[in-house]
Structure 1
């Protein structure tokens, strides 16, 4: 049986529609995107975070960070009170939050690392000292 150009046109349109329908089914069957649901709230707080990060540089308040096999040591130039968050990009269930506090300048704050898995983390330290707010972030790899 010989097909005419009109039949080819209808066949081509049918194949194209089948392709579009199959792509729509594929898209709807995929898992949801893991986007940040607090995107706008974080955008509003960006200026405050930027000012706290800048305050660390202005006051030269960045902590000295060192590691040994069991712990992380932080040394701040002034007494502090705050928190440190270990953020694991690969799995947010592995994130950990610790409270930190030092009573006097140059006190060493120890954080036990036994409950943290080895690998890369982003440290987010937020603290207050001398009625000022600070924010410091750093990438680390636990070995």
Structure 2
């Protein structure tokens, strides 16, 4: 039974990294699923209170980084509020349309179109669209690194 649970835990951790490319999958929830399966079904005494509090804090940072990276980049590159909102929606829709490339192409094109309608200036619209792409990619890199820390910390707690 322990082997099945470990396979499930590792599968959830892998799913969390796959979710970086397919945002409809729950990335940080998959990591937490692995933690909770270990805690409730394998060894409830192993993970310390410091671990749990730290994971909550890291999860909050991860969620904030994911939300604000795209918005910050679009603003930094001269995009509008509409560009920010459209980019967020386009990432979700893009994960269903030609994944994983849809999450890159659709937000870029959507922000370009929205900013063109707003400014009627192709150069400024292109700059904002590039900002949405940079924001999305930097947010995913940050999310991946943070998840790597979470999973690594888990294994250090469990194995040492």
Q: Give the TM-score normalised by structure 1.
A: 0.23
Structure showing the higher strand proportion among its residues: 1
Q: Give the TM-score normalised by structure 2.
A: 0.22
Structure number with larger C-alpha Rg? 1
User: Which structure is richer in relative contact order (CA contacts within 8 A, separation 6 or more)?
Assistant: 2
